[in-house]
Amino acid sequence: MNPKILLICKASIKEGLGHLIRTKTLADFWASTYPEWEIKFQLITDLDLSHLLKDTAYHIQVTESLEIDDTVSYDRVVLDMLSLTDSGFESVANIGKKITSISPIFNQMSKCDLLVTRTKYQTKDFGSKLKIEAGLQNTIIRSDCYKIDGLQFENNLRKSSINIAISMGGTDPNNNTLKVLKAIKDLEQPAVFWVLLGEGYEHNYEALTQSVNEDTTHEIILAKTNKNMWHILSNCSLAILTGGVTSYESAYAGLPAINYFQDPTKSYLVKELVELKLCVSICYDEKTLMKDLSHVLNNKNLLLDIHKNSKQSFNSNPLANVAKAIIN
């Protein structure tokens, strides 16, 4: 009998769009690989994200709060969110034979049956009930993210002004984009910065434009993108990211990244990438960010080494590993 699967995720200004991107990528994989399976998808959000939900082979129910039909049961329920009330989780557990979290941070983790996550590092012991499948082999990679050709990367690296992407997430609640733009004005090395603004970016564009106009050293392009962001990222030699979905996609693709965290307690999420030399560094303030950025621009061979390391660090389809772990 074909399995019935329910996927539930959250998206908001505070939580960002990473949970939605990750969950939808998984649902799309199942729907295309096993079209006969029954897949239901619930997105909990107060944002208008209809443009990101088009052309799916399954129905997406958009709600502002959790809605569970207790007359229908599922073989697998996949959750991707930071938090859920006790009563909310109980209602999910009542209709699901096996509950999986694909978010490495979740307040109901100890009640789940399975955690599938991209990093081997965890911040606490979740108890004996939870089975954990962890490591790079369990990274969810979007279909438009592909390994950057080695020759293409080397050619881009030879340019006098290399392309550098700045992507602070789908919503960037703390407006880190503006903080980084203000910081790079003091960077002496020439570069072309591609500033990727997510669909949920709601801060003042005039402040961004003013900061761009004040920078006389660098070329800076503001681009609002989500679905096609890898069209830009694949032509970059370096990215400044926030340690989320795109940080692992960059490691997979072979794009070196500096991961900028304002909350040091979350940096364990990319610790493995640093240890395996799949990213440049982790930093917690703009001063250190600029120091690391200047260092790699003066030592471009470090970027090439990271790119080469990525070729051996992921198997051909880590997304398939995630899908298999949940179904088994």
The confidence score (pLDDT) of residue 131 equals 96
The confidence score (pLDDT) of residue 54 equals 86
Three state DSSP letters for 61-89: EEECCCCCCCCCCECEEEEECCCCCHHHH
Among 98, 93, 102, which Cα is nearest to 76's?
A: 98
Going from the C-alpha of 234 to that of each of 93, 285, 286, the distances in angstroms are: 41, 26, 25
> Over the stretch 42-82, which tens digit does the pLDDT of each residue have?
999 999 888 888 889 999 999 999 999 999 999 999 999 99
Burial label, 197 (beta-carbon count in 10 A; 0-12, 13-18, 19+): buried
> Over the stretch 214-244, which tens digit does the pLDDT of each residue have?
999 999 999 987 677 999 999 999 999 999 9
User: 179 CB contacts (<8 Å, ≥6 apart)?
Assistant: 286
- In whole angstroms, give the CA distance from residue 195 to residue 86: 39
> Over the stretch 280-328, which tens digit does the pLDDT of each residue have?
999 999 999 999 999 999 999 999 999 999 988 887 789 999 999 999 9
> Over the stretch 191-211, which tens digit does the pLDDT of each residue have?
999 999 988 888 999 999 999
The confidence score (pLDDT) of residue 309 equals 95
What residue ranges define each of the domains in the chain, with the CATH number in brackets? 4-142+317-327 (3.40.50), 150-310 (3.40.50.2000)
The confidence score (pLDDT) of residue 226 equals 66
Average pLDDT over residues 21-29: 97
Mean pLDDT (the chain) is: 94
Q: Are 118 and 268 in contact (CB under 8 A)?
A: no
The counts of H helices and E strands in the chain are 11, 13
